[in-house]
């Protein structure tokens, strides 16, 4: 038989051979339990509840619903939140907080206000104490943001006094009059939200924000020295913005004051290009490294005594592009994204990034919990779990302990130049690995391996090698996948969910596993 030569191959066939479809090859993943990155903070599995759309009213809180408990909270939302293992719940915004006055939402008489960020009437029926009841029901730690837009330094101080001081001063006693004898002891407080954004009510430049934040932090810590403070880092990555200038100024000014720097990132697939979209977690990783470098530089000039260094809080992150224009942005049903399988894979990639950067990323909050760009979606009488719910649940359930520095050998691809989402900056990503991997390890020998196969059409078989100890015993396998990358869930329809696959019986220093196309797989077992 005559051998094919390059000249005998049609241009069409050459094009096929050069596409990502044809490039998937076998891979290697090396697990070395001595190569550690850092301890995983459970707070990276946080979420967010903002007064926006149907997140609070009609979502978490719906007293008129037949599904409500004695306090007006949706029982199905509580159960799904507990099953999701939400560790840290951010409140009350978001853009909402920059015109929010917490006193409107406590006590027997609530004051309705124009809600200017998302264009609705805010009844203030749900406020500080209702939120704390909700967090207690789902087992999450609260994380409050203070109003740095229209709010004052005194207002922030009084909120800490109301929530955290046991008795004596006026606002502590006011809480007791409202029926809450013991303080709530809120540990985590953000100094505003997205103050670098021109869209923010009370937007400030970096210098003015830092001055106000410093003085606000001072009185908050004088009220309760035990609190942890989060500075508002960059959220504006639009074309022409300079987010790292903002981060540097804020870090320089607040390096001796704050404990975390908050940064935000939303991505999307407005051009319907699967491979570009799958590369967006790589941009998250790049931004993490840039902020890490800024922190390292600034900390060399910090005077923090024996306090911890400054960590990164990715306290808003998600996929958001469908419900980001026109009437989808405001009102009662704002920001209601309907997610599919490819969204779930990107979420898995984001979580991989947080795990791989466990030494610096100590807080992460998906925005948001219910109905609004959220993993769960309700109607008046029903609920369904969105595709993104399942990787979140798997990571929060199994990925704890120490993050490992995993060696991965796999084929890669290059993207086009593309927008990260609506209104976001452009990027072009090279050497995007088809297999995106993280791993965690516990002292009892438990190892968890997380693998996203980004390949659209091809399974990729990887040899998984233990370089310290032996794989031994039964390994559980969980998979998130669907027939199509556009597979979705809806009321009465579940096309994507976690599937428990056949256990692996292993003994030795390596095994092979075929990771299906467009899938997320979690493998859990022990190394001895």
Residues with catalytic function: 194, 316
First CA to last CA across the chain, in angstroms?
52
Beta strands in 382-515 (DSSP E): 383-385, 402-404, 407-409, 412-413, 417-419, 426-428, 432-433, 435-441, 446-453, 460-466, 471-481, 497-508, 510-515
Is residue 314 a contact partner of residue 88, using CB atoms and an 8 Å limit? no
Q: Which of 434, 295, 433 is nearest to 357 (CA)?
A: 295
Alpha helices in 302-445 (DSSP H): 341-356, 389-398
* CA atoms lying within 13 Å on the CB side of residue 472: 7
Tokens of 342: 């490819």
Q: Helix, strand, coil proportions of the chain in percent (round to 5)?
A: 30, 30, 45
Q: Which of 274, 357, 275, 271 is nearest to 317 (CA)?
A: 357
* CA atoms lying within 13 Å on the CB side of residue 342: 20
Q: Which SS3 state, helix, strand or coil, does residue 263 take? A: strand
Tokens of 350: 């984001």
Q: Which SS3 state, helix, strand or coil, does residue 311 take? A: strand
Is residue 274 a contact partner of residue 327, using CB atoms and an 8 Å limit? no
Is residue 332 a contact partner of residue 53, using CB atoms and an 8 Å limit? yes
Residues 6+ apart with CB under 8 A from 509: 465, 466, 467, 469, 470, 471
Residues 6+ apart with CB under 8 A from 78: 69, 134, 137, 138
């Amino acid at each position: 038989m005559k051998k094919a030569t390059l000249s005998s191959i049609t241009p069409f066939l050459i094009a096929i051979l050069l596409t990502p479809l044809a490039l998937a090859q076998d891979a290697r993943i090396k697990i070395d339990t001595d190569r550690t990155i850092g301890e995983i903070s459970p707070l990276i599995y946080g979420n967010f509840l903002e007064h926006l759309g149907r997140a609070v009213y009609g979502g978490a809180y719906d007293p008129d619903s037949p599904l409500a408990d004695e306090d007006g909270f949706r029982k199905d939302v509580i159960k799904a939140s507990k099953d999701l293992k939400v560790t840290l719940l951010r409140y009350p915004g978001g853009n909402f907080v920059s015109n929010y006055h917490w006193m409107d939402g406590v006590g027997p008489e609530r004051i309705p206000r124009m809600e200017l960020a998302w264009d609705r009437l805010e009844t203030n029926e749900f406020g500080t104490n209702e939120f704390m009841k909700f967090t207690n029901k789902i087992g999450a730690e609260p994380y409050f943001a203070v109003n740095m837009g229209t709010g004052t330094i005194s207002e922030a101080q009084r909120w800490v006094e109301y929530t955290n001081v046991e008795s004596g001063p006026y606002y502590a006693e006011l809480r007791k009059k409202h029926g809450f004898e013991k303080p709530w002891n809120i540990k985590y407080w953000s100094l505003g939200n997205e103050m670098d954004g021109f869209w923010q009510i009370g937007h400030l430049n970096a210098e003015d924000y830092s001055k106000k934040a410093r003085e606000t932090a001072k009185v908050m810590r004088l009220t309760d020295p035990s609190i942890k403070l989060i500075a508002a880092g960059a959220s504006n990555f639009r074309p022409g913005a300079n987010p790292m200038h903002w981060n540097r100024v804020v870090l320089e000014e607040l390096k001796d004051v704050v404990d975390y720097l908050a940064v935000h990132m939303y991505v999307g697939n407005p051009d319907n290009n699967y491979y570009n979209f799958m590369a967006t977690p790589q941009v998250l990783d790049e931004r993490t490294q840039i902020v890490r470098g800024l922190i390292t530089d600034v900390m060399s000039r910090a005077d923090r005594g024996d306090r911890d260094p400054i960590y990164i809080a990715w306290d808003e992150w998600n996929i958001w592009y469908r419900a980001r224009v026109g009437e989808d942005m405001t009102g009662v049903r704002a920001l209601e994204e309907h997610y599919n399988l490819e969204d779930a894979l990107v979420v898995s990639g984001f979580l991989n990034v947080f795990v791989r950067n466990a030494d610096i990323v100590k807080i992460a909050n998906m925005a948001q919990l219910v109905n609004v760009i959220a993993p769960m979606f309700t109607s008046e009488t029903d609920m369904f779990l969105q595709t993104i719910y399942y990787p979140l649940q798997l990571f929060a359930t199994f990925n704890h302990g120490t993050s490992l520095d995993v060696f991965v050998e796999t084929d890669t691809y290059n993207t086009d130049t593309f927008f990260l989402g609506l209104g976001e900056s452009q990027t072009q990503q090279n050497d995007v690995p088809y297999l995106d991997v993280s791993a965690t390890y516990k002292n009892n020998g438990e190892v968890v391996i997380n693998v996203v196969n980004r390949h659209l059409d091809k399974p990729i078989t990887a040899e998984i090698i233990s370089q310290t100890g032996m794989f031994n015993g039964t390994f559980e396998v969980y998979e998130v996948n669907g027939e199509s990358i556009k597979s979705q869930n809806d009321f009465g329809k579940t096309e994507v969910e976690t599937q428990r696959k056949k256990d692996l019986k292993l003994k030795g220093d390596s095994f092979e596993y075929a990771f299906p196309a467009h899938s997320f797989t979690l493998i859990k077992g022990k190394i001895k």
